[in-house]
Structure 1
């Protein structure tokens, strides 16, 4: 998988824009990137172990760090920073954004969870 031709963090919008050499562009919201993190904390250590991460509607991205010539590490403002987003995974997230997001929302609903953070009393 070739590297993106451009990666731009739009802080005000909390969106990561990724452009590819073939002209494809993806706008990946911070919340989507966080709940689809490739980290073991989210994906688990094997098939069927994915964790549904709720309450991240307002999560932001603090920074995007290069990892060699093959990936980036995204540091979120909830301090999650263990996911390494390879070029291939970023491309997959962009290509499958609609279906993955719909599945995430359905899973939240099925479990009675919310995108909103818990209210503090």
Structure 2
């Protein structure tokens, strides 16, 4: 499995840049990472328990903490900090970004929710 060679946070743009040793690079917005957090709070304990997280358009990442040699923990400015993003999951989020983001926007619309806070 490819390993990250660089993880760089652009705080102003609220984007996490991840480069892998096979040359793949992804720009992952903080909002996307937050609403797709691997935490049980967001994902639940089965696919039918996944939560639709609304109102995170302006969320930022305040810190990145290493978790062993296999993952990072992202700390968001809305105080969410329980998701452990493995290298495999970061790669999956990058590769599936367009599909997952479209699904998220469709789910918000279906539930009458907004990306905007409040």
TM > 0.5 between the two?
yes
Q: Deviations over 1:35-93 (max 9, x none)?
A: 00000000001121100000000000001110000000000000000000000000000
Structure 2 equivalent of residue 91 of structure 1: 91
CA distance in 2 between partners of 1:31 and 1:79 (Å): 13
Structure 2 equivalent of residue 33 of structure 1: 33
Structure 2 equivalent of residue 82 of structure 1: 82
Q: Count residues with an aligned counterpart.
A: 118
Q: Does 1:13 align with 2:19?
A: no
Using structure 1 for the length normalisation, give the TM-score.
0.96
Contact 2:2–2:22 under 8 Å retained in 1:
no
CA distance in 2 between partners of 1:13 and 1:91 (Å): 20
Q: Structure 1: which 4+ aligned runs deviate by more than 2 Å?
A: none
CA distance in 1 between partners of 2:32 and 2:117 (Å): 15
Structure 2 equivalent of residue 102 of structure 1: 102
Other structure's SS at 1:48 match: helix
CA distance in 2 between partners of 1:53 and 1:18 (Å): 23
Structure 2 equivalent of residue 67 of structure 1: 67
Structure 1 residue ranges without an equivalent (≥5): none
Contact 1:3–1:69 under 8 Å retained in 2:
no
Using structure 2 for the length normalisation, give the TM-score.
0.98
CA distance in 1 between partners of 2:19 and 2:63 (Å): 18
CA distance in 2 between partners of 1:46 and 1:24 (Å): 30
Structure 2 residue ranges without an equivalent (≥5): none
